[in-house]
Amino acid sequence: MLILQGDKDFQVSTEKDFALYQQICIGKPNVHFKLYPGLNHLFMKSVYGRVKDFKKEYKVPQKVSAEVLEDIAEWILAK
């Protein structure tokens, strides 16, 4: 299992959700986690960085982070 999250995600909390998944999966060698600094829920660069602006942020044309795509591809190919 691969669990990824951007640390600027306004829909899923790094402190609650991501941390809870890590806690639940302690000792499970088939679970991998990665937190991406500066990325939002869509794995794109956070433009505004404020909760009140997240709807505007999703309207800014961007691409999914190349780092995220590379990490997913590496994980798949390693299986």
Domain residue limits, the chain: 2-78
pTM (2 d.p.): 0.87
Q: How many CB atoms lie within 10 A of CB 75?
A: 14
Q: What is the pLDDT of residue 62?
A: 94
Q: What is the pLDDT of residue 56?
A: 85
Q: What is the pLDDT of residue 54?
A: 74
User: Digits of tens for pLDDT over the chain (79 positions)?
Assistant: 999 999 999 889 999 999 999 999 999 999 999 999 999 999 999 988 776 777 788 888 999 999 999 999 999 999 7
Which token pair is 72? 């997913």
